[in-house]
Amino acid sequence: MKICIISVFVLLGTGLTVNSEKHSLMYIYTGFSKPVGLPGIHQFTAMGLLDGRMIDYYDSDVQRKVPKQEWMKERLPVYYWEKGTGSRLIKQQWFNNNTDILKKRMNQTDDDLHVLQWMVGCEGVTTGSDGIIKFVRGVNMFNYDGQDFLYFDDANSVWVAATDIAVPTKRKWDQDQGLKEKTKGYLENECIDWLSNFMVYGNKQAASPPDVYVLTKKTRIESNLTLSCLATGFYPKDTILNIRRNDRVLTKEEGLISSDVRPNEDDTYQRRDSVEILKNDTASFKCEVIHRASNMSVKKVWDHKVTDGGNNGGVNVGVIVALIFDVVLVAVVLVVLYKKGKFVPIPPLRGSV
């Protein structure tokens, strides 16, 4: 898997039941072989993501782990941040050492810029009213210069080399039974415990209901329209969106196209579903959005007016498109620069690659 699909990777998961909610806690570490020399780009960066929203941050210039959500600052004591800072200082040095090792192993010089990345974390689901989060899968993977390098197969407790150059590391780490046990224990237990705690700390405070809009625009076929349902500004990302024709939910087989859930620039999410219909279709079309975290359920009926994708109910579609572009642009920049990583009480990185 390439870096450019980090955000997709974080969002993917096992199929869930209708009443379940999926949550994730991921830590992303990125280390460059030398200073990049660009504003805002640091030689080493670490961040924590709860359901895709940044909750803490560290870089090699500031050298302190800091909260990125108010509830993290309020609910976690000073020693948590002190311990986290110490942990990330150690990982920063580990990244420096092992980037040098990989450069030598691959006969690379210091002239070019190289990047080592690490993502580690877990995904879980809540399926009942008790709010208990159950483990779905763990993620522990390394990437070097934009290519898969090594990942941990949690089900079989074995490291898997994604490239021949990673085979020596796989063999070395597979021989360390303690490392494998701690890695598996962290992914399946400790990470889920932290995920559960963070959801309790921040869920009520962070939940934001979506704004819902019904939009239309002309198509190349004169007799047709594209009808769209847009939900934006919601958090967390779990939401249900349906376009109904006479109360029947339209499907992909009937031409429905979905953007799926995408990030906005303000740590909230959006989703747009669209379907092509006849202009003279007199059926009742409704946009239905359910966002359980904010206890919101709404149905908006299309008034059969053609907006041609312009403003409808106060939403500026051009602004939304621009925000999507900004997010994609940032992701592309990070592609060239960065990968995945982790956090305070993770199993320690031992030795070298």
Question: Which pLDDT tens digit goes with each residue over 68-99?
Answer: 988 899 999 999 999 999 999 999 999 999 99
Assign domain 211-315 one CATH number from 2.130.10.10, 3.40.190.10, 2.60.40.10, 3.40.50.2300: 2.60.40.10
Q: How far is the C-alpha of 271 from the C-alpha of 240, rounded, in Å? A: 10
Residue 175 burial (CB count, 10 A): 10
Chain segment 215-238, per-residue pLDDT in tens: 999 999 989 999 999 999 988 888
113: enclosing H helix or E strand: none
3-206+330-337 with 211-315: one CATH topology? no
b vs e for 105-134, b when ≥16 Cβ sit within 10 Å of the residue's Cβ?
A: eeeeeeeeebbbbbbbbbbbbbeeeeeebe
Whole-model pTM?
0.66
Q: Give 252-270 pLDDT, tens digit per residue.
A: 999 999 999 998 877 788 9
pLDDT of residue 351: 60
Contact 110, 86 (CB under 8 A): no
Residue 236: asked if its preceding bond is cis (omega within 30°), the reply is yes
Nearest to 272 by CA among 330, 325, 329, 227: 227
- What is the DSSP code (8-state) at residue 78? H
Domain range 3-206+330-337, its CATH number among 3.30.500.10, 3.40.50.720, 3.40.50.620, 3.40.50.12500: 3.30.500.10
Length of the chain: 353
Alpha helices, DSSP H, located in the chain: 6-11, 70-75, 78-105, 167-174, 177-185, 191-206, 317-337
Residue of 35, 63, 30 lying closest to 47 (CA atoms): 30
Q: What's the confidence (pLDDT) of residue 20?
A: 65
Q: List the chain domain ranges.
A: 3-206+330-337, 211-315
| Mean pLDDT of all residues in 106-133 | 89
Distance between alpha carbon 185 and the CA centroid of its chain, in Å? 22
Tokens of 31: 């280390």
Over residues 4-53, the pLDDT tens digits come to: 333 333 333 333 334 567 899 999 999 999 998 888 889 999 999 998 88
Instruction: Please answer whether residues 56 and 201 qualify as being in contact, where contact means their C-beta atoms are separated by less than 8 angstroms.
Output: no
Residues 6+ apart with CB under 8 A from 161: 149, 150, 167, 169, 170
Rounded Cα–Cα distance for residues 229 and 274 (Å):
6
Centre a 10 Å sphere on the Cβ of residue 177 and count the other Cβ atoms it contains: 9
